[in-house]
Amino acid sequence: MLVDEHGLREREVPLHEMAPVDRDAASTMWNAYWRAHPDQVGLDDVPTVERFGDHAELSDALLELVISGRKRATATLVREFAADGVPLPRVGSHWIALGTIADADEAFAFDEAEDDRTLEAWLVSHRRYWDRVCAALEIDWSDDLEILFERFTVAWPEARGAIVD
């Protein structure tokens, strides 16, 4: 795992080439959050700078759902973390569970806020996405692969953390 000059973690080997993360903007945002909420940030906390998706258009679309307040969940193949040398997120104030694709339910699909928010659409789009991810990892997709299911809140900026139905 790499830690840059701003003290922010990043993936060592991205699955797909995208424009570089704006590390200065990420550092500025983290410092503003830390100044506003010093009680929420430990001295050893190092934020991970990450993107959603495996290409720029998908990343932008998913981030827009987060900013709007609609997207409050995400799912990642556990093997992606291992391939990137990145530890699994820590269980803390957010709900995190590991399972297989069979563990996804209607409520989780709704919280991911993609497509029409149904489990059926979620399964179709995520199987398609994980087919691409598995090809990049040089493994075969299987419904038995372990998946990290996360629910999250936007902590900063506060105005963007409102939930929109």
Least confident of 46-50, 68-72, 128-132, 154-158: 46-50
Please give the Cα distance from 69 to 46 (Å, whole number): 24
pLDDT of residue 120: 95
Sheet containing strand 96-99, strands side by side: 73-77, 147-151, 96-99
Tokens of 107: 């409520």
163 or 37, which is more confident?
A: 37
Please give the Cα distance from 142 to 34 (Å, whole number): 41
pTM for the structure as a whole: 0.58
Report the share of the chain in percent with pLDDT over 70: 72
Confidence of residue 70 (pLDDT cuts 50, 70, 90): confident
Percent helix, percent strand, percent coil in the chain, to nearest 5: 40, 10, 45
**Which residues are CB-contacts of 148 (< 8 A; sequence separation ≥ 6)?**
75, 76, 77, 78, 81, 88, 89, 96, 97, 98
DSSP label of 111: H
Q: Give all domains of the chain, ordered by start, each with its CATH number.
A: 1-13+20-50 (no CATH), 69-157 (3.10.400.10)
pLDDT exceeds cutoff 80 at 80: yes
pLDDT of residue 135: 93
